[in-house]
Amino acid sequence: MRPVTRLLTHLGMVALIIVSLSACDDDDPVNNGNGNGNGSDVVVLEGTITGSRTLSADSIYVIEGSLEIAPGAVLTVPAGTELISDIDTNGNIVTLQGDDTGPSGRLVVQGTAGNPVIFRPGSVETAEAGLVPAQVEACDRGDAGGILLHGNAPINVPGGTAISEGVGASFGGDDPADDSGEIRFLVILCGGTQIAPDNEVNGLTLAGTGTGTVISHVQAHLIADDGFEWFGGTSHADHLISSGNDDDGLDCDFGWNGTVQFAIVVQDRDLANRGVECDNDGNGSGNTPITTPTFWNVTWIGAGVQQANSEINDGPFLRRNSAPSIRNGIVANFGNVGIVIDGSGSQAQAAAGELDLDNILFFENQALASPAAQAATECLTQNVNFRTDDYLTDGVDAAFGDGTFVCDDPLFSSVNLDDPIDGSTPDLRPGAGSPALDPANASTPSGPGVVDPSATYLGAFDDGADWTAGWSVWVDAN
């Protein structure tokens, strides 16, 4: 029989229990004395971490239920570590917000471009067998859970705190510099498990996280809900990949006012909603802080059909009194409108100059549900609509007519716009002569959270190195 180490982490104590899984038979892999046929130990993590713990890349970790990182605690995950979300128990990693016992719990993921950390679905049995589906085979959306960080940064919910979806942890406070960890080069694969009807987790959830939190080079791939979602807070992020996800590529709510620079959203033709969805809150109130994120150098690739899921396939969908800024972007291949400003609240923000669109290249957005955009004769109104009950072009010129908008082929190096998630690896770098590379079409990135002010081009890449190479995963769904 093959031993598996079970770590029960609770109240600062760690219990080591060797559990027997099943009797050996002729089909079992060679154990090598270490727990699986690849020579790696299989370790079960569950409960609550209350101290500081560093995992080992020489082990495979199976997360059963929600593994919580308590206030004052730190979980460090070295480069190359495999984290398996147990399918039967909805394995999640959850940091808890700070309280009078300590600062917010911290998750530190130390992946590298050549050796990322993979969070994927599975079980003790598949881990013991040495299966690595993140690298060799497809999986199903929702098989894995997700990663949820909770902090004490401000949110706009009355009373200043709220409860997160999926795991029911509290977040929100008065510390804009709150620190919930540092995540670098992480792939979250086939996450978004359903906890209950209409209650799913996202790939990566950032709830009330502050500017002390570092999010860099993270992919959420084949998620059953949103790839990334921010619920208030002030945290920034860079180099994100949201690919093949069921709902929205990016989602923002509750007064988030951080910055994302360098991100790609690539949608599945068979299952996707919007490129990004932003609300001030569910009621479109004037609660402050207003949701005002800034997106610099983002490339959105839509599903290319009118409706690939429950919503029309629009690109950025800005609504409910939110006032985001999108600069130096590419919005391509959406079945309907490139960018939608929905409802009177966000339309008023646009008219007042608080909701900002500029320096954007549009390509092959089909406006299949917008007769107004189809009838428009200029690039801006063909691709940006106001929406109440219907998609309209009225007011768009007045709000954004002074900006720089280009309708042209970005000359992507390689992407299948007929089926963007087809198991192949896209290369979204623009080719020679692309209008995306013309600095006259771009502006200089600035403001908090900008990691490269020299990125005076449209979209997530120039014609140099591909920052997704070597660590991202592009398997198709089962």
Q: Which helix (H) or strand (E) element contains residue 396?
A: helix 396-400
Instruction: Give the separation between CA 300 and CA 275, rounded to whole angstroms.
Output: 6
* DSSP E strand stretches across 21-65: 41-49, 52-54, 59-63
Instruction: Give the separation between CA 132 and CA 165, rounded to whole angstroms.
Output: 29
Q: How many residues does the chain have?
A: 478
- Burial class of residue 446 in the structure, from the number of CB atoms within 10 Å of its CB (0-12 exposed, 13-18 middle, 19+ buried): exposed
- Residues of the chain where predicted confidence (pLDDT) is lower than 50: 1-2, 10-37, 133-136
SS3 475: coil
Q: How confident is the model at residue 56, as a pLDDT?
A: 97
Q: How confident is the model at residue 38, as a pLDDT?
A: 55
pLDDT per residue as tens digits for the range 104-119: 999 999 999 999 999 9
Q: How confident is the model at residue 476, as a pLDDT?
A: 87
Q: What is the mean pLDDT of the chain?
A: 91
Q: How confident is the model at residue 12, as a pLDDT?
A: 41
Q: At residue 416, what is the residue type? A: N
- Specify the residue for token string 């979602």: 229
- Backbone phi, then psi, for 380, in 5-degree steps? -60, -55
Q: How confident is the model at residue 238, as a pLDDT?
A: 98
Q: How confident is the model at residue 9, as a pLDDT?
A: 53
Q: How confident is the model at residue 34, as a pLDDT?
A: 38
Single out the residue of 193, 150, 146, 144 nearest to residue 169, CA to CA. 150
SS3 401: coil
Single out the residue of 118, 123, 76 nearest to residue 222, CA to CA. 118
- Beta bridge pairs of residue 108: 76, 182
Q: How confident is the model at residue 8, as a pLDDT?
A: 54
Please, what's the b/e burial string for 306-324 (b: 16 or more CB within 10 A of its CB; e: otherwise)?
Answer: eebbeebbbbbbbbbbbbb
Q: Which two tokens stand for residue 192?
A: 């978004």
Q: Which two tokens stand for residue 463?
A: 């014609």
Q: How confident is the model at residue 137, as a pLDDT?
A: 57
Q: How confident is the model at residue 193, as a pLDDT?
A: 84
Instruction: Give the separation between CA 463 and CA 264, rounded to whole angstroms.
Output: 15
CB 318 within 8 A of CB 331: no
Instruction: Give the separation between CA 290 and CA 232, rounded to whole angstroms.
Output: 9
Compute the half-sphere exposure of residue 415: CA atoms within 13 Å on the CB side of its CA.
29
Instruction: Give the separation between CA 453 and CA 445, rounded to whole angstroms.
Output: 5
